[in-house]
Structure 1
Amino acid sequence: MLTKYEPVILFSIRKLAICAGLFLMCLHSFAQEFTFSGKKQRQSIQFRCIKNLIIIPVYVNDKGPYDFVLDTGVGPMIITEPSIIDTLNFNLMRKIRLSGLGLETVDAYVSQNVEARIGRAKIKHIPTAILKEDLFNLSGHLGVKIYGLIGYSFFNSFIVDIRYSENRIIFSDLDSHVKYRGSKVPITIENLKPYVDVEVEIPDSGKISTRFLMDTGASHALSMEMLNGAAFPLPEKRIKANLGMSLSGQIKGYVGRVKTFHLGKYAFSDVVAGFPDFESISKKIDLSFRNGNLGAEILRKFDVQFNYQEKFMYLKPNNFAKVPFQHDMVGMVVYLDQDQYKRVIIGEIDEGSPAEKAGLCPNDQIIGVNFKSIDAYSLNDLTEMFKSKADRVVIFEVFRDNQVLFKVVRLEKRI
């Protein structure tokens, strides 16, 4: 049974999709662009990279800063913590229906009176959807307090240079002189989101052309969602996995590897990919624009310059480019229970995984790892440890039913 603290997404973070086009049309006349004050044309800010996601400080209505995910996969800004906006009266706000992979349709509220500021760049009347509660559980998943997601309005206002190698973003006015670095790749903007044409090699079909959503707000490498109106062919070597959690249950699927993946002139081999159940996702999200989702596990291998207005990006490989793709070798998700003294809790456990074999259980509280207090680790540290090396032994100290137990897990490369 899903509690309010269980992670909404296990394999990656997915967003609610604004399913009412009316919402965007209603706000179009109010929407503006981010602009710098004075003669400022360019700014550089640092970001934190947690589980491949970009966390930036955002001021909302001149208050903050609040940590937001910078996310090419969202159109309107989404606020997941409504307390940051004063004098909210939901009864006076327009209510819309939202849906997305892993979530049943839920209510959200539209505001036409939200200002946002990133660095010295400000926007008035930014299209905003406000949730009454954090249905994503982003804070629990990332281990830091997250207040929302911001995407299209920022990327559409500037030339945005994401330097994953430096944890830095440089954003420049559209008419300023920018030196592009690397290789130019065309992109398409549909429904406020960027798409790129790529080639993938799949069983029995060889290399095929596909279109993927570029999603800095998804921590995975690839999600293979649809091919020729049906499911992607599954790789021969695969494991069953819980790819996500909805308000009414799990999203099932498989994790395997894509033999080759071509992005522009760059090629990657043995890419870890999720293959969600097609029947489930085709009812939840609009797949008419895409075959899949290209996440930050691939994007972070480049320093990326986005130019939405002219519909291209530049990719320059960085020091992450040659790091091999690894899947979680423990087979479980852990999350931070924000309301219970920041306890680290085990969520879903994959069937037949090393975690299940070791006797770990959902809802176990992790109080130590390798004889160190859990306080010595961030969730990001644990994620990297779980993908680190096959046959590595990890000793968990857990609290269950008023008992302290030790469980020994041997990491296993399952795909």
Structure 2
Amino acid sequence: MQSAKITLLLIFALFQSLYSQSIYKLPEGKTSDKIRFELINNVILIPVEVNGLELTFLLDTGVSKPIVFNFLKAADSLQILNAEKIKVRGLGNGNDLEALRSSHNTFKIGEAVNSDQAFYAVFDPELNFAPKIGIPIDGIIGYDFFKDFIIEINYNRKFIKIKRPSEYKLRMCRRCQVLDLNLENNRPYVLSYVDIGANKNIPVNLLLDSGNSDALWLFEDKVNNIQLKQKSFIDYLGTGLNGSVYGRRSKIKKITLGVFDIEQPTVAFPDTLSVNFMRSYEGRNGSLGGEILKRFNSVFDYSNSRLMLKPNSYYKDKFSYNKSGILVENSGVRMVMELNAKQNSAVSFRDEKSININSIIKPNYKYNLKPVYTIYEVLPNSPAEKAGLLRGDEIVYINNRSTQDMTLEKLTGYFYKDSGEELKFVVIRNGIERKFAITLKSPLE
């Protein structure tokens, strides 16, 4: 399921040569460590401590230097050392961004510490991905962490295991497949084959991009016969450093990774302008994103340029589309008064998975902050548009269930159910409750 899109393809290759190779190290006598993560919308979120401040980072194999979004909770507390102002360019159709380049910082991930980590801090509030994914994201980290360890990602059990390369021995299994990695500009590429619909396997060089929640992106290329031949529709693909990215969505017959044939995956063909900025490596034909990567428990071994894949419980999940035609975001919070079963004194607590929640308990009631979910886009000719739903509508009930206790992922999961299913909405528009019903329909039908 692809319940929200967050596309974080960043281009910082121009600045990499300015920094020496910093290293993450485990404590003396420790050879491995296990780090728990959250899997939300097909992307991995891990705890990272930056200069003593606990933050939440997206683990993104498609990025080189770490990026910190310094407009969230880090704004008042994060120490940005040895800062220098620069301009950066990323994915999207907007202008260059101002950022700070910072060096000699201390990053801690689990027990692994790097006391000489460089990163980029960006301040534009338009880059706040939290509404689209449902929880705050303070930053992104990729290559600098992967290069120093053998990293096992277990999507089933939601943990990352890091090991010192000198202590690791590759253990093959009956269902495992080892693929060669090609590291270009500190990004991992893998050779795959796609059958776009002509019963012909076309070789493609794909960036392994765990920061992209989609299954597969392909760049149209007439010379190599990488062309959209199936029925498709125009859609919002995600958000990059320089704005929104649009393109066409469809399905292809299959993608082959080693011995694994993945049938009927969804595919996106981003628009030409976005593709131009993504081609920092000329041999690249697209990206392999989280919707496919999560179907395997994997071992990344950058030191030996290899990747081991083992199918997991997600492997046979069907690929699906949003069949409602609406895109929803977490647009804020509302204070809700609830009858309190307990008669205690004032209490406060924090929900780390979403936002800070303050609960004040009075003799008979308590007041909680609950999420507000708002439609931020209605796609043309979609079931939602035909039913009369509008941008700005606040969804308060879906199928007679209140949305205030749902995560964003839970709510948008309704939009990926089978074609023909009916969804009933209660929305607030201009302060008035209104009711709507839509019948889900695939945009490819």
State if a TM-score over 0.5 links the two structures.
yes
Residue 354 (structure 1) shift = 1.6
Distance in 1 between the 2:333 and 2:437 partners? 28
Residue 85 (structure 1) shift = 4.9
CA spacing shift, 1:176–1:280, aligned 2, 3 Å: closer
Distance in 2 between the 1:85 and 1:156 partners? 29
Distance in 1 between the 2:222 and 2:237 partners? 22
Partner of 2:341: none
Give matches, 1:362-401, under 5 Å.
362-401=391-430
Q: Greater CA deviation, 362-371 or 111-120? A: 362-371
Distance in 2 between the 1:283 and 1:299 partners? 23
Distance in 2 between the 1:230 and 1:401 partners? 52
Partner of 1:194: 188
- Residue among 10, 19, 39 paired with 1:17: 10
CA spacing shift, 1:102–1:73, aligned 2, 3 Å: farther
Residue 261 (structure 1) shift = 0.6
CA spacing shift, 1:107–1:261, aligned 2, 3 Å: same
* Runs of 4+ deviating beyond 6 Å: 246-249
* Structure 2 residue matching 1:324: 3-state secondary structure: coil
What amino acid maps onto 1:32 in structure 2?
S
* Structure 2 residue matching 1:309: 3-state secondary structure: helix
Distance in 1 between the 2:274 and 2:44 partners? 28
What amino acid maps onto 2:285 in structure 1?
N
Structure 2's unaligned 5+ residue stretches are 335-368
What amino acid maps onto 1:51 in structure 2?
N
* Structure 2 residue matching 1:267: 3-state secondary structure: strand
TM-score normalised by length of structure 1: 0.90
What percent of counterpart residues are identical? 28
Q: Greater CA deviation, 299-308 or 9-18? A: 9-18
* Structure 2 residue matching 1:126: 3-state secondary structure: strand
Q: Which has the larger radius of gyration?
A: 2
Give matches, 1:86-235, under 5 Å.
86-88=78-80, 93-181=84-172, 182-204=176-198, 206-227=200-221, 232-235=226-229
- Residue among 381, 384, 388 paired with 1:355: 384
Residue 89 (structure 1) shift = 8.2
What amino acid maps onto 2:75 in structure 1?
S
CA spacing shift, 1:390–1:205, aligned 2, 3 Å: closer
Partner of 1:38: 28
Q: Greater CA deviation, 172-181 or 123-132? A: 172-181
What amino acid maps onto 2:88 in structure 1?
R
* Structure 1 residue matching 2:404: 3-state secondary structure: helix
- Residue among 48, 51, 72 paired with 2:41: 51
CA spacing shift, 1:140–1:229, aligned 2, 3 Å: farther
Aligned pair count reads 402
Superposed CA RMSD in Å reads 2.5
CA spacing shift, 1:280–1:50, aligned 2, 3 Å: closer
- Residue among 285, 308, 322 paired with 1:328: 322
TM-score normalised by length of structure 2: 0.84
Q: Deviations over 1:167-187 (max 9, x none)?
A: 111111111134434111111
Residue 240 (structure 1) shift = 2.2
State whether residues 188 and 311 of structure 1, in contact with CA within 8 Å, keep that contact through their aligned partners in structure 2: yes
CA spacing shift, 1:268–1:132, aligned 2, 3 Å: same
Q: Greater CA deviation, 111-120 or 350-359? A: 350-359
Structure 1's unaligned 5+ residue stretches are 1-8
